[in-house]
Amino acid sequence: MAGPHNQDRDIPKAKISIQAFKNSMRLFRYMSAKNRGWFLLGTLFLAISAGASLMFPKLLGELMDGAFVYGNNGISKAPNTQALEKVAVYFVYLFIIQAVFSFGRIAIYVRVTEDMTYGLRSDLFKSVIAQSMTFHTQHRVGELLSRFSADIAQIQDAFTTNLAMFLRQILVLIGGVVVLFITSTKLAILMLATLPAIIIVALVFGRFLRKKSKELQDTTAANNVIVEESLSGIVSVKSFTNEAFESARYEESAWQLKKDSILRGYWRGAFSSFIIICMFGAIVWLIYQGLGLVQAGEMGVGELFNFMMLTAFVGSSIGGMAEQFVQIQKTLGSIERVLELIDTPTEITHIPNQSKPLPNWTGAIALNNLSFSYPSRPDFPVFKNLNLTIKPGEVLALVGPSGSGKSTLASLLYQFYQPTAGQITLSDQDIQSFDMATYRQGFALVPQEVLLFGGSIYDNIRYGKPDASSAEIEAAAKSANAAEFIEGFPEKYQTKVGDRGMRLSGGQKQRIAIARAMLRNPKILILDEATSALDSDSELEVQKALQNLMHNRTSIVIAHRLSTIRHAHVIALIKQGEIVEQGNHETLMQLEGGQYRRMVEQQIEPSDYFQQPLG
């Protein structure tokens, strides 16, 4: 279970390459020219702060030289108070410089990074939201959300922290080594001689630890999947009384996570112990060699102390560089994934400066020799040479078994997908010749499962026409038979509907969706099983609202319950992607042995005869 979910949580690392460098440079385009100047100033502050940190060991060494003064006979003299005071003043200056420039660097980097990620987020969302339905069917929501959360967060951390720390470590390393050689060439050579072996072993051990960490991430992901699935399907868990089963499943996964975490902790402890032994061993050895130089009069105690402090600085810089380098690799992977999405060609909804004809909604919609296969299943045709005409103002009902292509036909009319062969025309013009955004504005959809956004009822109705007035919204709610229950809420139209509209009943959500469609005032209305999941009372209210919505409007009704579409002008029975029967209810009922007639006879109820016309 961990496999498919892990890619949403684990940020891949990218190799350092010219393309990765170009991708990184592209991010600077998201900074304004002014902020790019600020970024350079922040980098200068970083260099000053790093240089100032190298003064700290030197001042400590001078402090020791001032505190411990030895004469020729080895007897300690009184401390050099004047030297100590001078060093103390330098310490004050050093701390002020460190504080001011460190704060300036952080403040500047945060400012320019937030400016950059603002543009990056905006472009990423614009690209994702403008992609075709084919794109969205091929990419899971969790995967796309990971680009906005994990990847953007990784880029933010890199520019505010990781990049700054990496540059700082490089500056400290280079400056520290130079000062070490100036202080004592002999000790510097000895110190550098110990580093290669430690670094090689640390890299090998570190790679092993990263492998263990990735395995732990897989186990953690599997553990999180159980939580995600159980909470998302809580209704099923409760209805099947499987709380104990899910708890046992989670406990088993949590136990494995515990074992893997403990084992990884042991290996990290062993690695830390190795580093401690190596580093302290090297320091003790250098101190021993340095004391020999002090006794020989080749260097002072303060110089030795300065040297050892600088050695610690250089060692910590090397260790820090390894971790920051890993983070930068991860950041390059994040940048690559984000820019790949931004660069993905979007669905063409509008081409500036290109004149396209406006849809003529007074004519008929015609499907001419239409064939279609989903891109993910090219060898399984949904339609083959389908022909159908929908006249203006007519109600077309699509019936047939599940999987026959009814909802797919609605998607093709919306241009969510393009036909494999044939064409769809509106007033004898191919619908692909219209500006897609303008064309889609003529449609409204009322689905079986209404998805409401987590705002207020007012906001959800307004979604059909964002610039609508309050009077228009209330009029739409009244026409949809929704005003009565809305007014019954304490907060009325400002009532929060909850996540996906969970605070409303199925009938209430359907009427909100109908009000939204009414507000849009579409030329073409598509009803996809709009009443199939409702109880009798809710269905009656929704049917009344649908009658208002469908009046004198071209409507396409997808239904399993045949009683709801009896008064449609045209009923098309689709089976295996082909229209096997077509006509109005009376015509189809006269066909001896007809499939529609047989379906009606199997579902018929006496009360169905008293249904009011839908349009």
State pLDDT tens for residues 222-241.
777 777 777 767 767 776 67
As its CATH architecture, domain 361-442+525-530+553-615 has 3-Layer(aba) Sandwich (3.40)
The structure tokens 């290669």 sit at 196
Give dist(CA 512, CA 190) in Å, integer: 78
pLDDT, one tens digit per residue, over 186-224 is 777 777 777 676 667 766 776 776 677 667 767 776 777
The whole-number average pLDDT for the span 428-449 is 83
The terminus-to-terminus CA distance of the chain in angstroms comes to: 50
pLDDT value of position 239: 67
15-183+324-345: CATH, from 3.40.50.170, 1.10.1060.10, 1.10.150.130, 1.20.1560.10 = 1.20.1560.10
CB 532 within 8 A of CB 360: no
Domain 361-442+525-530+553-615 matches domain 448-521 at the CATH topology level: yes
pLDDT value of position 195: 67
If you average pLDDT over every residue of the chain, what do you get?
76
What CATH number belongs to 448-521?
A: 3.40.50.300
CB 308 within 8 A of CB 187: no
pLDDT surpassing 80 at residue 15: no
Give dist(CA 478, CA 548) in Å, integer: 10
CB 66 within 8 A of CB 59: no
DSSP secondary structure code for residue 581 in this structure:
E
pTM of structure = 0.65
Give dist(CA 612, CA 615) in Å, integer: 9
Backbone dihedral angles phi then psi of residue 555, each to the nearest 5 degrees: -135, 145
Domain residue limits, the chain: 15-183+324-345, 185-298, 361-442+525-530+553-615, 448-521
The structure tokens 């060692």 sit at 315
pLDDT surpassing 70 at residue 146: yes
pLDDT surpassing 70 at residue 14: no
Q: DSSP letter string over 462-482?
A: HTTSTT--HHHHHHHHHHTT-
